Amino acid sequence: MSGAVEVLSLGGTIVMSEDSRGESARPDDAAGARLLAAVGGDVELRPRSLANTSSSDVRPHHLRAVLEHARAAVDAGAAGAVLTHGTDTLEETAFLLDRYWDREAPLVVTGAMRPASALGADGPANLRDAVRTAIAPSARGLGVLVVFDGHAHAADRVVKTSSRSVSAFASEPAGPLAIVGAEDLRLLHLPLPRGPRTAGSPPDRFPAVPLLTAGLDEDLALLDHVPAGAIAGLVVDGVGMGHVSPAAMPRLRGLLGAGVPVVVAARPFGGGTSTHHYGYPGSEVDLLDAGAVMAGLLPAPKARLLLQVLLAEGAPADGIRTAFGTYAS
């Protein structure tokens, strides 16, 4: 195995520059070269730009390209691969890539909170740490990792917790997986075994699965206007341990009765959904009795992606329930 690392880029703040007033950061094609030059070191970096876009516009075909090039690179002997990406949907991309990543070599996702032109830009340090992680012996077999602010996070646990701080990512419930060192990762706890991988790559388009948020005086009335067959599934970001209003229940039962899977996540960052604490109308017990699936520790955006992957595979209802059971809290 060589010490080479494939460095793929989809853009994001890490390769953006600000205007003369230090505002309005936009993609800057020249920023990538400056970023690589700033990292230095004795590791051979093999850069490849796949796109230069905000992460709000990343699509499944972008991730197909990431998987294609990352797999080819490690199969040809690279120690690992790194992907630079905008932070807005970075946790979702990492989670989705991890579902398909089937190599022992690590695939590491990183980005930046400050543009390349900003004082104190965090991109160079994050990329350096991502490269270190890509060649770290302890990272092998851990799947897709997110590296940010000196820490490595497991893809299925990491969540963006700040829209401004350079320490923008955290992991629930056990914290970061490791601290990034110059020679290897310093594991802070033993990772859980990885769940089943999905063969191949994401489809060009996923089945339609909207995400609705429960809350005060929210009865999910929008569902009254969704034509039959228009959605393949639904994810609800429920209050508390995964609850909705009693008035929302007939609407959800209608979907479930029509064979549309409904997954319920928990809005709070910590704790996840329950299966037994509350039995009132709209509680987790009521939702489970109606046929809904609880997302466990998965936050709603990741629950949506997992449901889309499962639906694209043609997973039956019990297969969907089993897959989400991996994240039970």
Choice among 13, 84, 93, 110 that is catalytic: 13
Q: How many CB atoms lie within 10 A of CB 57?
A: 13
Cα 220 from chain centre? 26
Question: What is each CA distance from 78 to 10, 45, 308, in whole angstroms?
Answer: 20, 10, 31
Please tell me the distance from the alpha carbon of residue 108 to that of residue 101, in angstroms, as a whole number. 11
Is 13 catalytic? The answer is yes
> What contacts 120, CB < 8 A, 6 or more positions away?
114
Give alpha helix (H) positions in 135-274. 249-257
Question: Under a CB-based contact definition with an 8 Å cutoff, are residues 288 and 294 in contact?
Answer: yes
Please tell me the distance from the alpha carbon of residue 111 to that of residue 17, in angstroms, as a whole number. 14
Question: Under a CB-based contact definition with an 8 Å cutoff, are residues 233 and 311 in contact?
Answer: yes
Tokens representing 314? 């043609």
Question: Under a CB-based contact definition with an 8 Å cutoff, are residues 210 and 237 in contact?
Answer: no
- Which among 183, 123, 129, 122 is positioned nearest to 153, based on CA atoms? 129
Catalytic sites, residue numbers: 13
